[in-house]
């Protein structure tokens, strides 16, 4: 009997790996076919999650949900318009200036390497930067070609982005109004034993995760921008936004964002890069050790190794969108499995559907 049970368990474990791999491949294949609509739908759902908080606030003021949703939507549109008129042109202008300056910075870096190599040759030091110099020269040529082609497609990309933004806002509006019906219908297809922990885990991970990550990203942007301006860092707003956006990717995003900004500053000036690195790392430590624990807490409960693996898998399946969704999806799966394991000894028969995340 024990041998039969062990063989059955071994068979289950042996087949689970190929089945999981097959499902991941199918998800990746489906996403590659429907990447644009899936991306729009996911971003709209995230926006709906976040806008549900102010909607609930207005509902407590004895407004109907329709009235609350309309008010929140108008405020959100106003905020987007204000940002589009004030900050967006500055960011676009700084981005264009940065891209135009990078070839000159790379050329200056190549000259510095040649001077350093000449200095080392005089001192008979075994230093040879020819390979690195050739690589920089190749990067300059590729970058100039990419900038030329990118400038031609910039107008089309801008128009496409505006259309996508309109679609996202419209979808988020309808999700806030009618998302509960769709949610109840989908959850009603699941047995109660899975329905309740899955609903709870989705609400916990997606709501709190994205709200916390956006607040942390805003903290980095709002804190670093005035500091960089006081330090007279060129492209201060753009650098702060790059670091802030990188915070949306957990675990590795902060390192990648700060590292990219340090490299861009290093192309300008070594002392500037050191100052930017010190300030960014100090603010990052304040965020990680003082603010993030209060916002995030332990609601995901994932081992850092699993977080890293989930981010890699999410990027492989869905690119940048996959990296943003990887951690809450992994946290949802873990939370659901933990709840199912805890309920094995105490099965619950009469459970109701937990509120839909966009209306709870």
Nearest residue to 329 via CA among 296, 302, 304, 305:
302
Compute the distance between CA of residue 321 and CA of residue 143 in angstroms, rounded to an integer.
25
The whole-number pLDDT of residue 270 equals 79
User: How many residues in the chain?
Assistant: 360
The whole-number pLDDT of residue 113 equals 63
Compute the distance between CA of residue 216 and CA of residue 346 in angstroms, rounded to an integer.
39
- C-alpha distance across the termini of the chain, in Å: 48
The whole-number pLDDT of residue 352 equals 43
| Contact (Cβ atoms closer than 8 angstroms) between residue 200 and residue 354 | yes
The whole-number pLDDT of residue 60 equals 86
Helix ranges restricted to H, 34-64:
35-60
| Contact (Cβ atoms closer than 8 angstroms) between residue 168 and residue 306 | no
Compute the distance between CA of residue 351 and CA of residue 199 in angstroms, rounded to an integer.
12
Q: What global pTM score does this model have?
A: 0.72
CA separation (Å) from 302 to 28, 127, 237?
A: 23, 46, 33
The whole-number pLDDT of residue 335 equals 79
Q: Token pair for residue 132?
A: 């690195």
pLDDT digits (tens, 9 = 90+) for 152-188: 455 556 667 778 888 888 888 888 888 777 777 777 7
Q: Beta strands of 117-219 (E only): which ranges?
A: none
Give the single-character DSSP code of 125: -
Per-block average pLDDT, block size 10, for the chain (360 residues)?
64 67 76 82 84 86 87 89 85 82 72 66 62 58 55 58 82 84 78 80 78 86 92 88 86 83 82 89 87 64 74 80 82 80 58 47
| Region of 62 on the Ramachandran plot (φ > 0 left; ψ -120 to 50 alpha; else beta) | left
| Contact (Cβ atoms closer than 8 angstroms) between residue 202 and residue 325 | no
The interaxial angle of helices 65-122 and 35-60, nearest 10 deg, is 130
């Amino acid at each position: 009997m024990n041998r039969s049970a062990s063989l059955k368990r071994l068979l289950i474990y042996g087949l689970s790996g190929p089945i999981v791999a097959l499902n991941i491949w199918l998800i990746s294949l489906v996403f590659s076919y429907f990447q644009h609509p899936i991306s729009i739908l996911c971003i709209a759902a995230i926006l709906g999650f976040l806008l549900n908080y102010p909607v609930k606030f207005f509902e407590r003021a004895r407004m109907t949900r329709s009235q609350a949703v309309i008010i929140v939507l108008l405020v959100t549109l106003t905020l987007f318009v204000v940002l589009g008129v004030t900050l967006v042109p500055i960011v676009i202008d700084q981005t264009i200036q940065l891209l135009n300056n990078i070839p000159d910075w790379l050329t200056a870096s190549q000259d510095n390497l040649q001077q350093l190599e000449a200095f080392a040759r005089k001192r008979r030091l075994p230093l040879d930067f020819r390979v690195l110099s050739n690589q920089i020269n190749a990067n300059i040529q590729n970058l100039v070609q990419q900038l030329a082609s990118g400038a031609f497609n910039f107008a089309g990309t801008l128009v496409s982005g505006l259309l996508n933004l309109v679609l996202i806002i419209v979808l988020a509006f309808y999700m806030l109004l009618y998302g509960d019906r769709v949610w109840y219908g989908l959850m009603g297809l699941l047995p109660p034993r899975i329905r309740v922990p899955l609903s709870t885990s989705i609400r916990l991970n997606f709501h709190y995760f994205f709200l916390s990550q956006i607040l942390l990203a805003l903290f980095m942007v709002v804190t670093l921008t005035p500091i960089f301006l006081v330090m007279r860092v060129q492209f201060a707003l753009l650098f702060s936004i790059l670091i802030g956006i990188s915070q949306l990717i957990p675990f590795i995003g902060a390192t990648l964002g700060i590292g990219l900004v340090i490299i861009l500053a290093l192309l300008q000036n070594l002392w500037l890069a050191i100052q930017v690195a010190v300030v960014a790392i100090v603010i990052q430590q304040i965020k990680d050790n003082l603010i993030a624990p209060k916002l995030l807490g332990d609601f995901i409960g994932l081992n850092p190794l699993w977080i890293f693996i989930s981010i890699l898998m999410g990027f492989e399946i869905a690119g940048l969108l996959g990296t943003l969704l990887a951690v809450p999806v992994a946290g949802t799966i873990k939370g659901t499995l933990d709840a199912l394991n805890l309920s094995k000894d105490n099965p619950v028969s009469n459970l109701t559907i937990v509120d839909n995340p966009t209306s709870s």
